[in-house]
Amino acid sequence: MKLARDSKAWISAPILLTAALVAIGNWYFSAVALLGSAFMLSFHRDPDRMPLGDGMVAPADGRIIQATDDVVSIFMGPSDVHVNRAPLDGVVQKTEYRKGGHLPAFLCRASNNQQNRIKLETIDGIIEIRQITGTIVREIVCYVRPGDRVVRGERLGMIRFGSRVEVTIPESYDLQVKLGEKVRAGETIIAVRHP
């Protein structure tokens, strides 16, 4: 299983705890720690993905909680892959960290939570990807810097433990997803160019 970048510390801690508890014979707590290890491994998985057609791909796994001609918001639940991906080919123009609240990520007001904004210049104009934290650990990891060239579906970063991702839609694109739909980062087409 491929794991997300910079996730070894998060995964190794519960594994070491499990081993220590087994060594001292504490079977109940070692079983609990083993479940924690399994959760950490699952949460930090990072499978390879390929776009399922032409167009703008989803930047995150999860459920669509907002879908307009301008913005798509995706809520990532605990079972979703939390690695975020580039919706289109482009060049990173700017990354900007913003302080904010820590409301549950599925609420509309969570758009003002702590977040990282990535501005990406594409052939269809500048789009913005917003990595928004939720209520728990609230750690945003950004893999890209200004000047980096990315291709559609390439990894941009990840958010740990409860989060959402918003992406702006270019004016020349038509929305292909609806409220409540499940999407997969780097695979599901969320918008296509006007014919």
Residues tagged active-site: 163
Q: What is the SS3 string spanning the chain?
A: CCECCCCHHHHHHHHHHHHHHHHCCCHHHHHHHHHHHHHHHHHCECCCCCCCCCCEECCCCEEEEEECCCEEEEEECCCCCCEEECCCCEEEEEEEEECCECCCCCCHHHHHECEEEEEEEECCEEEEEEEEECCCCCEEEECCCCCCEECCCCEEEEEECCEEEEEECCCCEEECCCCCCEECCCCCEEEEECC
